[in-house]
Chains A and B, each alone.
Chain A
Amino acid sequence: GAVVSQHPSWVICKSGTSVKIECRSLDFQATTMFWYRQFPKQSLMLMATSNEGSKATYEQGVEKDKFLINHASLTLSTLTVTSAHPEDSSFYICSANPAGGTRATEAFFGQGTRLTVV
């Protein structure tokens, strides 16, 4: 149990276009999902906390107009990279915490999305 599916696994887009990445909890409800960015051989950097039914909370230095987050339901959060540029190329990972219970503080990760902007 506790599977998080992230789609797409990889995407190549042209500079100036927007890209949407989906994060779904398949067998549990998640009131909170997190979006991370990871550069090669580096740690996961938290970008924002996605809360179902309310606005996302962004970490310092993350442009909220650039990285739009929508948490429309208890099983789906989306990250849209708007007007993508080559410097946005990175590996993006989402995680979801089950709502309540003993595993509420355990993060389950999606497979990640490799974004390349050309």
Chain B
Amino acid sequence: AQTVTQSQPEMSVQEAETVTLSCTYDTSESNYYLFWYKQPPSRQMILVIRQEAYKQQNATENRFSVNFQKAAKSFSLKISDSQLGDTAMYFCAFISNAGKSTFGDGTTLTVKP
């Protein structure tokens, strides 16, 4: 069974600054996928960034980047130049080869003006 742990229930950051959300996971699988999803107040799940476990290079998407440490089973999300629209709940997710997802408990991020 897979587990995903997000140890920061809440975080805040000033607009334009950088914030890092942490995520650790546990699995016995060798091939899997990791995602960060954003859930704004509308509750629509929005994909932020994706990382294939077999790729060593950290994924980046504009202001969003990850620090993927496979040996340590760590997958943190860095948000640069934070914007007010980044305020949301962020979920780290592990998806197995079979497509089954396991989510962390989430981190509520507040970007302050």
Of A14-22, A70-78, A105-113, the stretch lying at the interface with chain B is A105-113
A25 within 8 A of B: no
Q: Which of B35, B47, B103 contacts A44 (CB 8 A)?
A: B103
Q: Kindly state the separation between the CA atoms of A95 and B91 in the bound complex, as whole angstroms.
A: 15
Q: Judging by beta carbons under 8 Å apart, are A112 and B43 in contact? A: yes
The residue on A at minimum CB distance from B33 is A105
Tell me the minimal C-beta distance from B1 to chain A in angstroms. Answer: 10
In Å, the complex CA distance between A109 and B37 comes to: 10
A residues within 8 A CB of B35?
Answer: 106-107
Distance of A106 Cα from B36 Cα, bound (Å): 11
Q: Is B20 an interface residue (CB 8 A)?
A: no
> Using a Cβ–Cβ cut-off of 8 Å, how many residues does chain B contribute to the interface with A?
25
Task: Give the contacts of B72-113 with A (CB-CB under 8 A).
Answer: 89, 91, 93, 95-106, 108
Bound-state Cα–Cα, A104 to B45, Å: 18
Q: Which of B's residues lie within 8 Å of A, judged by CB?
A: 33, 35, 37, 42-45, 47, 50, 89, 91, 93, 95-106, 108
Main secondary structure of the interface of B (DSSP, over half): strand
Min CB–CB distance A29 → chain B (angstroms): 13
Q: Is B50 in contact with A41, judged by CB distance below 8 angstroms?
A: no
CB-CB under 8 A from B95, the residues of chain A are: 105-107
Closest to B9 in A: A41
Whether A46 and B101, one on each chain, are in contact in the complex, defined by CB atoms closer than 8 angstroms, is yes
Residues on the A chain within 8 Å of B97, using CB: 105
Q: Is A93 on the interface with B (CB-CB < 8 A)?
A: yes
The distance in angstroms between the C-alpha atoms of A112 and B44, with both chains bound, is: 7
The contact sample of 24 A-B pairs, CB cut-off 8 A, is A32-B99, A34-B101, A41-B106, A41-B108, A43-B91, A43-B106, A44-B45, A44-B91, A44-B101, A46-B100, A46-B101, A91-B43, A93-B43, A95-B45, A97-B99, A104-B99, A105-B33, A105-B99, A106-B33, A106-B35, A107-B35, A107-B99, A111-B42, A112-B44
